[in-house]
Structure 1
């Protein structure tokens, strides 16, 4: 879907002029990113050139506040929809790139929310001036995949001036491309944020310079069916020292303040980007193959169009809650959007394949990669648990809006 087409839709008319300009600029960068997507997918390599292009275009500091030289987007800056539509454009070019971009921009939201003024001055400067890339890593799953002999996890020990970290994290997005990582580690032992049952106060958020020689990447583990270019490898910490000045926020703040729920609808924006990529392919292919007179194609095209419109409207709805400071409503609506857009996006890709046929799944068609990536990325959260959480909230029962635990 070109910018000319989507500019006619209500959600873009509601954006500020800066937002419309930014989406156009991101779209231009995304065109080059799309041409590299297949190469990165086949080799499972981090899309570093894409981030270089984003930095060169002045887009890498999207969620850094304006007073620190950034673009001032996101849920803390009163302009959330622009950020999510930028993410959608990148995910349309390459869903793996969209995920890496999410991790970067979401990390900067956490720095804005929780880091001290001194920390912000230190780290935001490296992002704005140096193009540094950030990520946030929590993954320490305790369930093993077939063939694994050990579980992932970290242990942290307090020492003079800071902490020493030992162990491993899995699903470490952008492991071979990021410069800094925000590590969610638990003083009670393995589990990180999502998989630990310890009290919230035991969860620390620590910034780690990934150039530290005690931090290494094991690239042998990451061999998935999709999202290969996220380079979400296993990262090993061998007595890594993390100084006191790298502690971000108060212990437990990430859980107490429910920051994960700010990122849940951002995933939906990436889902939508993948769906829109399939839709664009279908429109071009069906027109070129002169299949537009088929009434069944009419049904497929109409369903795809409605799905995309619905998804956009849901994202705009959630973004308004964040921008108006209505956080509780934003959390509830964000989970609804996350659930719904997953299904609409997967359905849209299915409509594309049904309408275009098996050739749409033969490389170099991007739909083959979109299908693999979206199917895999939608597992980021268990949708059964997401929907059950929505149900518990509806019934007024106790629920976990961030990690969807019973």
Structure 2
């Protein structure tokens, strides 16, 4: 008896041959990434070798336009599902890697959408030929955790030739690995995009060279239960000068054009990757332990299989909406997918643990890490607020489809 891979094969058959070849290359690299995941998790270290391998294989420029030397994937180029399936594969190997990869590729989508042609040529050159890694940082949470005396936040001041930034950002993904960051800062005061209450026009996007000595990383704050290898430390800006030439797009464009909603279903792709990692572990473990005749085990496996297929269907549906230019529908469907896939993924991991028992939670089992990582990453947006936003949209009420604010 062997493992039934019919469903996975069916998904691959729906893709163009070049996309199947691309995902096969990603899969080869993901196997090596999975071997390193435990090491990066224990060390709370950015998965630098993983990104080196992706760059060496010409995969790190996935969302860079073809005319600039990239693969031209993502919602701007009518090729969204292959990007999300790449993310799924990397997140299956290591959910922290999937999150860092999301931040990198989403940042490049923003540059492609909002940067000037001169900026795009300059920055995409660094990605394609220099292997540069990008992130986008907004996080300036005003709520404090126990023991914190001050909230995070930045202030920005206009000066001759640009802007001066001072203050701190938290949850700064890839802080010790990225080369450049898209900084979301608000002229109205602390809060970035997610935590600010000022007008949309106050939100600026600025590119920052993270090798600037005025930018420092505090690695003591980031000690979470999961997603440890995202290296999402606190970053301090000590009067960092950001030249006017590095301002991206018009003030408020990120909010007015709803770009956050393009990335919401991308999180779901990572959730699905984590779920697939648990599912594959369960299938192999149960077969090896000769436990496949147990009817309760069969029910658990059946539920996992249905969950995985359902998540794929939703991602494919949202991707088609983006690729066909139906942006309003894509935003609404993307929020629904993000909500549903979170629950499908968490349920799949629970089924895996129930079917395989406590040994699945003993290191170096990947399920132990998947459970921690997925539980933590699912907090990235408050699912209660996501679901309420879906309800407000269905009722025709005014709603925030990006950050799910009441």
Aligned residues, how many? 405
Q: Deviations over 1:172-214 (max 9, x none)?
A: 0000000000000000110000000000000000000000000
**Matching residue of 1:275:** 275
Point out where structure 2 has 5 or more consecutive residues left out of the alignment: none
**Matching residue of 1:400:** 400
The 1-side partners of 2:194 and 2:14 are apart by: 36
**Matching residue of 1:134:** 134
Q: Are residues 2 and 156 of structure 1, via their aligned partners in 2, closer, same or farther at CA, if it must alter by over 3 Å?
A: farther
Asked if the contact 1:3–1:24 (Cα under 8 Å) also holds between the matched residues in 2, the reply is no
The 2-side partners of 1:308 and 1:164 are apart by: 47
Q: Deviations over 1:118-165 (max 9, x none)?
A: 000000000000000000000000000111000000000000000000
Pairing of 1:133-152 with structure 2 (within 5 A): 133-152=133-152
SS of aligned partner of 1:122: helix
The 2-side partners of 1:149 and 1:262 are apart by: 35
SS of aligned partner of 1:170: strand
**Matching residue of 2:264:** 264
Asked if the contact 1:157–1:163 (Cα under 8 Å) also holds between the matched residues in 2, the reply is yes
Pairing of 1:200-219 with structure 2 (within 5 A): 200-219=200-219
Pairing of 1:297-376 with structure 2 (within 5 A): 297-376=297-376
Matched, 1:8 2:4: no
Aligned-residue offset at 1:113? 0.2
Matched, 1:25 2:25: yes
Asked if the contact 2:261–2:402 (Cα under 8 Å) also holds between the matched residues in 1, the reply is yes
Q: Are residues 132 and 6 of structure 1, via their aligned partners in 2, closer, same or farther at CA, if it must alter by over 3 Å?
A: farther
Aligned-residue offset at 1:7? 4.8
The 1-side partners of 2:298 and 2:377 are apart by: 29
Point out where structure 1 has 5 or more consecutive residues left out of the alignment: none
- What TM-score, normalized by structure 2, do the two folds share? 0.99
Asked if the contact 2:3–2:283 (Cα under 8 Å) also holds between the matched residues in 1, the reply is no
The 1-side partners of 2:232 and 2:175 are apart by: 6
Aligned-residue offset at 1:15? 1.8
The 2-side partners of 1:241 and 1:146 are apart by: 32
Asked if the contact 2:96–2:229 (Cα under 8 Å) also holds between the matched residues in 1, the reply is yes
**Matching residue of 1:382:** 382
Aligned-residue offset at 1:14? 2.6
The 2-side partners of 1:79 and 1:245 are apart by: 30
Tell me the C-alpha RMSD between the 2 structures: 1.2
Aligned-residue offset at 1:8? 2.3
The 1-side partners of 2:246 and 2:3 are apart by: 43
* Off by >2 Å, runs of 4+ in structure 1: 1-8, 11-14
The 2-side partners of 1:23 and 1:4 are apart by: 16
Pairing of 1:79-94 with structure 2 (within 5 A): 79-94=79-94
